[in-house]
Structure 1
């Protein structure tokens, strides 16, 4: 499996205001596709749904592709930017730090302590996007477990008198 530079095969998509209404329509059209797709593929005369873009070869619209397009359309329709990169993309330490929302020196410390695998290319460290995602998921799970542990010893009735909490 080869790794790619983040600059070569990744892209950030920013929605413009005119396209947001069309993206909402796409979201509605794709939202029921998974159920429809499974029932349609069971038929003997099933036509293969394709995604056609001018100047490019048509591709089959699989449930995985429909899910990806639906996710992108939902985020763009909310005015959010979407970053698309292959899972085997290698990130610089600055890109990796930005991904995790930490400073670059903090990320380098995490790399050197063995929290996240990396490789050195000359003097530079490179981190696989897949390893970074795995670390972020593990960190999120650990944080949720810590919060659950903290909350387990609390009495919910103690918060009844707190004016900041409304019922």
Structure 2
């Protein structure tokens, strides 16, 4: 597993071919755990969980203290395992991580000069550290969500303007 760090508190995980098979197994195990273990959770669970001998799933890592495998942690691990098993990179970082302009541009899939134009136009907030710009990961994600939503609205508008009867041989339109 290749690890690249954007900052001290973040890591990007890139799976290699050997790791993908084991990640698929982990993904399948966690999906079974997540589906079967959390269906029908109600107030009775609270009473059972408070008992001293109640079994709790734990995450064991050699050399570290055991951690309870909560529902939230199981869901996160499941998502990470699914993406890694598909050969995709996964970034694990706190939302208050500050990115360089190059890291932010890479995450958006744009050039650094294009990102700088977005920053200077006020579309993405940033701070300056000396002469360097820094972008909060959460602000970058917010911009990406807004841009995605705007693109979807534009596609919907285009689709609404299109008359399907203008197309001579549209297989989706039946003449009747």
1:94-109 equivalences under 5 Å are: 94-109=102-117
User: Larger radius of gyration, structure 1 or 2?
Assistant: 2
Residue 122 (structure 2) pairs with residue 114 (structure 1): yes
Structure 1 counterpart SS, 2:7: helix
Residue matched to 2:156: 148
Write out per-residue CA displacement over residues 108-136 of structure 1, whole angstroms, 9 at most, x where no aligned residue.
11111110111111111100000000000
Question: What is the alpha-carbon distance in structure 2 between the residues aligned to residue 125 and residue 110 of structure 1?
Answer: 12
**RMSD (Å), alpha carbons:** 2.3
Aligned length: 160
Q: Identify the structure with bigger relative contact order (alpha carbons < 8 Å, sequence gap 6+).
A: 1
- 8 Å CA contact 2:7–2:97 kept in 1: the answer is no
Q: TM-score, normalised by structure 2?
A: 0.81
Residue matched to 1:37: 37
Report deviation, 1:162. Answer: 6.4
Q: TM-score, normalised by structure 1?
A: 0.85
Gaps of 5+ in 2: none
Q: Structure 1 residues 157, 86: CA separation in 2 closer, same or farther (over 3 Å shift)?
A: same
